[in-house]
Structure formats: structure tokens, C-alpha cells
Amino acid sequence: MIQYTIKRIFQTIPVLLGVIVITFILMYMIPGDPVVSMVGERYDEQTIKKLRKELKLDDPLPVQFIDYVSNVFQGNFGKSFITGEPVMQALLVKLPNTIILAVTAMVIAIISGLAMGLFASVNQGSFLDKVTMFFALAGISTPVFWMGILFILVFGVHLKWLPPTGFGGVEYIILPAITLGIRSAAYIARLSRAAMIEILEQDYIRTARMKRLPEWKVLFKHGFPNILIPVITLIGTDFGSYLSGAVLTESIFGWPGIGRLALEAILKRDFPVIQGTVLFMAIVFIFVNLFVDICYGFIDPRIRMENKND
Amino acid sequence: MIKPGRIWNYFFKDKISGFGFLVVLFILLFGIFAPIISPHDPYTQILDFRNKPPGFTGEVISYRLEPDLPVYTTAVKSVTVHKNTVKYLDTIDRTFEIEKKMLNGKDRTEWNKKIRFYLGSDNFGRDILSRLLYGIRISLLVGFCASTISLIVGVFLGALAGYYGGLIETCIMRVTDIMFGFPLLLFLIGITAAFEPSLTVVFFAIGFVSWPGMARITRGQVKQTQENEFVKVTEVLGFGKSRMLWKHIVPNSLTPIVVMYTLSISSAIMAEASLSFLGLGAQPPIPSLGAMINSGIDFIKISPWISIAPGFVIASIVIGFNMLGDDLKSTADPLMKK
């Protein structure tokens, strides 16, 4: 187990470095002189020279790269062109809001997704199954941002059940969390249905039914635990869609998280903030995947063994 | 390999399965014939008819103030034709007089039209239906171009990795690992933000971020196909390595690649819509569906149709391609059909 964990951690290092290299290249390709975008149109030669020196922009590329990497490892993601605030500081201030939103969305997605999937698998082939699966397909195929707008329109503007946008009490989180969770719920529904159908055909389920166990016991005691591994895998790999979705959802609902920070930076063309946010989210994503992978090692001994034989 | 006859049978035996195919077919037709079927020009702004509800009708005339100026279209209440001039009453009862030679076209039906906004008009007084039809074109264009880029790059690198193995495989697969390290949309935001936003950047950005999935599938498939008898026969016959790979192994590994291609079209369309929604994709006045949704947000209370209609269209396109992909998947692998 320890061997597997260590191996998995070592596999992450090149990915992490690669992600930093790509972000560095993207920063480097940004059109125009970063110093000019910092000081604006009214500048004099002296300030430019001073700033270039301060930002070490005249250093050779490899030196700049090494500086960048060491800065990233020290948690220094650069400074905003506009406010001059360190990007990391801005990210840490907004991070808790995004985590609250993402976790709420995830809970909603897991509960509703599993419920839909199990419901459909029990009624396999029936009209209800088809309707449920069509909803799941629609959930995957509908743009998150549009869904959010519809929710605002229906529940916020017309029915006035919930505040359309803003930040504050519990009532503010409901619409954005549902919006953010829908896509994932639909994926979980499709996957759990397929997995459950496969498991219900297994011999041990037939045995359980022959023993005249009540059907709910067959489903929840013998069937359900077996679909958890694929579902957990999906939730782990789908974590990226929560991060991506956060940009869209937060921008619509005015939720003050990392996504909104990125959107405001896009609108103002504040490149260090954009790239810093992208890098930050990529790093979070990589660590979540690492964590999920190590978790399966604990849950499923087969995964540990497979990796051993590599 | 998917045989055309088999797909045909499959679609027309099971009505539900044919649905995705039909949706895609209709959307392709709408996209291709957009210039013929769209009732108006998607760029013409009629400022008096801003934010009008679906079904709104009105009368307009179009003219040029100077021969080299663009055509100006304006809303009118009534028009009277005189010998050399045309008098019209605008929507707030002001009378204007213009010379006949300034009118756009000779025939009255050309410069004086009754128009109907079947799906309403947007915040610039443009016809939403026409913009949707042109928007479908842009979505499809991005979907096909971006997926084709990812197909070419992904299949090429994936096949190399699967067939040659060793160092080549390790390098290519490490790169795909790195690319998978980014959440998709955020990666796209990072790339498109580094350039001047335009549709071309969107094509290449989406193609660039989506090839790793294609490469992984191709690699696995090539490895599997390599185990077949016929490959061993060609090996015995002494065929060259590259001929064997591209003429025998890759064509026999295509099924999951075709499925992946279909599904990647839908995710490319979704990605373009999201980027355009964030202002990083097609720039105004290009009628991109994502950008149209965004432009309606500020008017959501007075004219919600601006944002609602394009969302339906995106959802239908994506549902169509997803269903088609699912169908192809179960056709290719009948065991999965349940």
C-alpha cells in the first residue's frame, strides 16, 4: 500500500512540472508588452525600464523560467496588473466561497444522480427509465450557464422563491449549487444505471433473490455497494468540471469565488490573474485526482495489485 | 469496423436510436441552408425594434444616405411615394422625406418590407431566428474543425505510441498526462486569453486541448488490434512497418475512434459556446450562440427570449451529437445495448 501511494505521488511530479511549463509558455505568449499593460498608455521610458528590471523581463528565457518555477513553489503566482495585489492572496480570499459552492453542488449531484440512476435501473426498459435517461442526456447536453439563467428567470424573477443573484445566507447558495451540480448529476445517473444493471445480472444477486430476501435488501445491501467504485472514480475525474463550471456559474450568480475572479480578470485582460487562477485550479485538480487514486488503493485491493505488476 | 448497412439497419429498426441521427441531420441542413431559409439578414439592426417579443411584426424601409455608406434600415409607420421623393412617418410620428435614388433597390418590395420577428429581436433590433440559423453554422464549423484537428493529431500520435512503444510511447503518454492535468474549460480560458480572441484561436485551442483523449483511445485500440492474426500474417509477409500501421492496423481500430469523434464534436460545440459566453470566443457582431446568450443577460427581465432561444439550439445540437455517439457506440458493440 505504501509502495503504491509513493509511486502514485512520484507519477504526479512530472505532470505538475508540465502544467507549470505550459502556463509559463502561455504567459510568455501574451500579446503586447506586459509592462505597458501595467502602466497604461501614459508612461515614460524611465518607469518602463525600472519596471522591466524589477520584473526581470530582460533576463534570458531559461532564467525567467527558473524564477517562475521557484516563485510558484513558494506560492507566489505574480501580481495583478491592475490592483498590484498578489494573485495568491486574492485566490486564498475567494477560495472558501468556491469550496462551499462546489461541495454543496457535489452533494446535490451525488444524491440526485444516484437516485435517478437507481430508479432507472430498477425500472429498466420501461417508459420511466427512458424519460429519466432522456433527462440525464439533456443534463449533460445543456450549457451550464444557460441553465443558470433559466433558474434565475423562473425561481428568482417570476416565482420569487429565491434571490436571483448575490451572496449571503443559505438561500443564496441553492440556485448556483443546483446549476453547478446538474451536469455531474446527469453523468452519475447514467453511470450508476449502467453499473447497477450489470450487477443485477450477477449470480450472487440471483442467489440473494432466491433466498427470498426483500427486494430493497437485494438492491441496497448486495447491489448498491458494488457500484460505488465506478461512481467514486467518476466523481473524482469529474472534479475538473466543477472547477470549470465554477467560472460560468459564479459569473452568472455573482458568487464571489475563484471563478468570478477569473472572469473579472478576463474582462479586464488582467493576464497574471487569469493564468494564476488557471494554474491554481490545475494544481488543485491534480491533487484531487491523486487523492482519489490513493483512496481507491484503500477501497479496492485489485487496483493496488495491478499497479504492483506494472 | 462499422459497416454502413449495419448502421442503417440499426437506426431504422429502433425508432429511438434514429432520433439522434435525425436531429443531427436537421441541424446540418439548417446550418448549410441558413442563408436561404433565414428570414432576414442576421446583422441588420433596426434600432426602433429593440427587444421585441416573438411574433412581433413591423414595417421598415431601407436606404443609403450616401452611395458609399452602408444600408440603413429604419422602422416606419407609413410610407407615401411621391414623384422624386418618399415620405415616411417614423415610430414617434415624425415625418421624413428622402430622395428616391437613396432607396436600397428599385422595386418597392425591395426597400419597403413588412418584417416579422418569429423569435423576437435582440438588444440591437436584429432578428433572433436569423442569427440562430447563422449561429448553428458557426457552432458546426467549430465542432467539425476542432474535432478534426484533434482527430488528426490524436490518431497520429496515439498510433505511433501504440505501435512503436518504448521511448516514443512514454513521451507521448506523458504529454497526454500533463494535458489531462488541466480542467478542460480552464485550459481553454488560459490559451484563448493569451491571444487576441477570435474564432480561429477557438478552433485551434479546442483542437489542441482535445487530442489527448483521442490519442489514448487510439493507442489502446492499436495495441489490441496488433494482437490479431491478420497483423501477424502481414508481419510474416514482410510488409513495411509504417504501411502495416497506417493501412492495416489503424483502419481496423477505427470504431471507437469514430464514436469518440462524434462525441468530441458535441463537446467542442459546448466549449465554443462557453468561451463565447465568457467573451473569449467569436467577437461581436458574429452570431455565435454562446455570445447571444451572454448579450441577453442584461435584458433578462424585459426580454428573456434573447437568451432562451440560443440555449435551446445549443442543447439540441449537443443532444443530437451525443445521441448519435451513443448509438454508434452500441452499434459498434452490440453487447452494450441494453
- Residue A251 touches partner B, C-beta closer than 8 Å: yes
Q: How many CA atoms lie within 13 A of B214 on its CB side?
A: 30
* Percentage above 70 pLDDT, chain A: 92
The H or E element spanning position B117 is strand B112-117
Is a pLDDT exceeding 60 seen at residue B331? yes
Of residues B91 and B263, the one with the higher pLDDT is B263
CA proximity to A88, closest of A77, A74, A72, A96: A77
Residue whose C-alpha cell is 477501497: A299
Cell numbers linked to A210: 432466491
Tell me the pLDDT tens digit for each residue of B20-76: 888 999 999 999 999 999 888 898 888 888 888 999 988 888 888 888 888 888 888
CA distance B309 to chain A (A): 10
The H or E element spanning position B184 is helix B184-193
A157·B274 Cβ contact <8 A: no
Per-residue confidence band for B210, with pLDDT thresholds at 50, 70 and 90:
very high
| Residue B337 pLDDT | 43
List A residues 49-78 in contact with B (Cβ-Cβ < 8 A).
none
Lowest-pLDDT range of A103-107, B174-178, B238-242 = B238-242
Q: How far is CA B255 from CA A44, A198, B2, B6, B82, in A?
A: 62, 23, 6, 13, 69
Is a pLDDT exceeding 80 seen at residue B114? yes
- Residue A138 touches partner B, C-beta closer than 8 Å: yes
Is the separation of the CB atoms in B61 and B87 below 8 Å? Answer: no
| Residue B338 pLDDT | 40
A157·B187 Cβ contact <8 A: no
3-state secondary structure B45-104: CCHHHCCCCCCEEEEEEEECCCCCCCCEEEEEEEEEECCCEEEEEECCCCEEEEEHHHEC
* Percentage above 90 pLDDT, chain A: 24
Query: Does B54 sit behind a cis peptide bond, omega within 30 degrees of 0 on the bond before it?
Result: no
DSSP code per residue over A197-218: HHHHTSHHHHHHHHTT--HHHI
Cell numbers linked to B285: 457582431
| Residue B264 pLDDT | 93
Is the separation of the CB atoms in B313 and B306 below 8 Å? Answer: no
Number of Cβ atoms within 10 Å of the Cβ of A89: 13
Per-residue confidence band for B252, with pLDDT thresholds at 50, 70 and 90:
confident
B315·A143 Cβ contact <8 A: yes
Query: What span, in angstroms and rounded, lies between the C-alpha atoms of A145 and A149?
Result: 6
Across residues B6-17, what is the average pLDDT? 55
B196·A282 Cβ contact <8 A: no
Determine the distance from the C-alpha atom of residue B115 to the mean position of all C-alpha atoms in its chain, rounded to a whole number. Answer: 27
3-state secondary structure A85-152: CEHHHHHHHHHHHHHHHHHHHHHHHHHHHHHHHHHHHHCCCCHHHHHHHHHHHHHHHCCHHHHHHHHH
CA distance A1 to chain B (A): 23
Q: How far is CA A237 from CA A176, A302, B337, in A?
A: 21, 19, 25
Lowest-pLDDT range of A259-263, A305-309, B304-308, B328-332 = A305-309
| Residue B128 pLDDT | 92
List B residues 187-206 in contact with A (Cβ-Cβ < 8 A).
187, 189-191, 193-196
Cβ burial of B100 (10 Å; 0-12, 13-18, 19+) is middle
Tell me the pLDDT tens digit for each residue of A89-141: 999 999 999 999 999 999 999 999 999 999 998 888 888 998 999 899 999 99
Distance separating the N- and C-terminal Cα atoms of chain A: 15
CA distance B3 to chain A (A): 26
Is the separation of the CB atoms in A147 and A179 below 8 Å? Answer: yes
| Residue A306 pLDDT | 62
Tell me the pLDDT tens digit for each residue of A36-95: 666 666 667 777 777 777 777 777 788 888 888 888 888 888 888 778 889 999 999 999
Query: What span, in angstroms and rounded, lies between the C-alpha atoms of A139 and A183?
Result: 5
- Tell me the chain A residues in contact with residue B135 when contact means C-beta distances shorter than 8 Å: none
* Average model confidence (pLDDT) across chain B: 86
CA distance B178 to chain A (A): 5
